[in-house]
Amino acid sequence: MEYRRLPHGNEMIGVIGLGSASIGTARIDTAAKTVEAAFKGGINYFDLASSGPNAFYACGEVLKDVREKIHYQIHFGADYSEGKYGWTTDPDTIRKSVEWQLDTLSTDYIDFGFIHCIDEEKDLHTMEENGIIPLIVKLKKEGIIHHIGLSTHTPSIAERILDMDIIDMLMFSINPCYDYTKGEFGIGTNSERMNLYRRCEKEGVGISVMKAFAGGQLLDAKLSPFGKALTKNQLIQYALDRPGVITVLPGAASPEEVNEVLSFFDSEETEKDYSEIGQFKADDAKGRCVYCNHCQPCPARLDIALINKYYDLAKAGDELAKEHYISLGRHASECLGCGHCSARCPFEVNQYQRMMEIAEYFGI
């Protein structure tokens, strides 16, 4: 496992966590074995927007003795009182549900208290007016919630919450078909989505990624809006390369599926290379670096992806990005202008020209 630090805190979070959609309605013994395999594999971040209550029974049983080593995302707005997942903005139901979740998990604190699944402005108003957002803020002041989060699929809603300056983590759906607005489910243009990721990085708000495989759609050529399947390794790497991302939360229905996802760390770089999505790109993504590093090797040994990422972040107003750029071993000014990268870039980035632009911008 590799870990990334939460910017608004000191928590070190595994870059792969566990989503609970698959174990929520699995048999409890299977769910428990899955959670156990995840913890043994180094996973320390568990999302609990689950499809059903069994994820809570399993986590409560398996993780109660290692509680301080793990982090839970608990959702204010997910309800399990009917024995399956339900979404609600009713304040009494939310309060009772959170009490039940904490009891079942054998815990009395919440690492990440999430405003759950808000995709429309009217629902955001409701959660403010019904007292749930003020309640979450109060629980944070009291130390019961350590960090506030929001889960949404809608960039404009995420921007609204970022304006309120209360969240430390955003749970957002990220995969190539949503980012390139292919298929039915992605919300927001490529630019809106990239601007959101950059804003999160700039403001120190981590992103936990849901739907990295687009609900399995992208793993199946018949279902994929690109007409071609991608692998879990490619999609995990894609999500981890977006600015702001701390962790990706794939679902797993069994210990075997957990181990399959964790085999990402033993995979070759070529197996994680997702640059073939360059063939599927949306028009507004043409000529934009997606930080995939497919253009390597660079004879000047420049980390082309990282140089481009810091440049984009600096232009978006991230004050730390310049320091990060300067601390790199090699800089855009060392570009030899060989053009190898531009020739290999599936996204039609004129990288040599960009390196000159970057060198001028940072003065190095």
Q: Measured from the CB of residue 209, what is the shortest distance to ligand SF4 in angstroms?
A: 19
Which of residues 78, 170, 313, 345 is near ligand SF4 by CB under 6 A?
Answer: 345
Which of residues 191, 336, 353, 357 is near ligand SF4 by CB under 6 A?
Answer: 336
Which region among 171-179, 257-265, 292-300, 317-325 touches ligand SF4 (by CB under 6 A)? 292-300
Residue 188 to residues 6, 205, 213, 241, 248: CA-CA distances in angstroms? 26, 19, 18, 19, 20
Which of residues 48, 246, 292, 321 is near ligand SF4 by CB under 6 A?
Answer: 292
Phi-psi region of 215 (alpha: psi -120 to 50; beta: other; left: phi over 0): left
Q: What is the dihedral of CA 223, 228, 234, 235, to 10 degrees?
A: -30
Work out whether 291 is an interface residue with ligand SF4 (CB under 6 A).
Answer: yes
Which of residues 206, 294, 312, 325 is near ligand SF4 by CB under 6 A?
Answer: 294
Work out whether 338 is an interface residue with ligand SF4 (CB under 6 A).
Answer: yes
241 touches 203 (CB < 8 A):
no
Q: Measured from the CB of residue 284, what is the shortest distance to ligand SF4 in angstroms?
A: 15
337 touches 352 (CB < 8 A):
yes
Q: DSSP secondary-structure letter at 69?
A: G
Order across the sheet with 45-47: list the strands.
45-47, 71-76, 110-115, 145-152, 169-173, 206-210, 245-248
Please say which residue, 208 or 237, places its beta carbon nearer to ligand SF4. 237
Work out whether 349 is an interface residue with ligand SF4 (CB under 6 A).
Answer: yes
Work out whether 356 is an interface residue with ligand SF4 (CB under 6 A).
Answer: no
105 touches 143 (CB < 8 A):
no
Please say which residue, 152 or 308, places its beta carbon nearer to ligand SF4. 308
Count residues near ligand SF4 (CB under 6 A). Answer: 28
Structure tokens, 272: 């994680």
Work out whether 341 is an interface residue with ligand SF4 (CB under 6 A).
Answer: yes
For residues 178 and 219, what is the distance between their CA atoms, to the nearest angstrom? 14
Work out whether 347 is an interface residue with ligand SF4 (CB under 6 A).
Answer: yes
Following DSSP, what letter does each residue of 145-177 receive, concatenated? EEEEEEEES-HHHHHHHHHHT--SEEEEE--HH
Work out whether 287 is an interface residue with ligand SF4 (CB under 6 A).
Answer: no
95 touches 56 (CB < 8 A):
no
Which region among 144-152, 165-173, 182-190, 349-357 touches ligand SF4 (by CB under 6 A)? 349-357
* Binding region for ligand SF4 (CB under 6 A): 275, 289-295, 298-300, 302, 304-305, 308, 335-341, 345, 347, 349, 351-352, 355
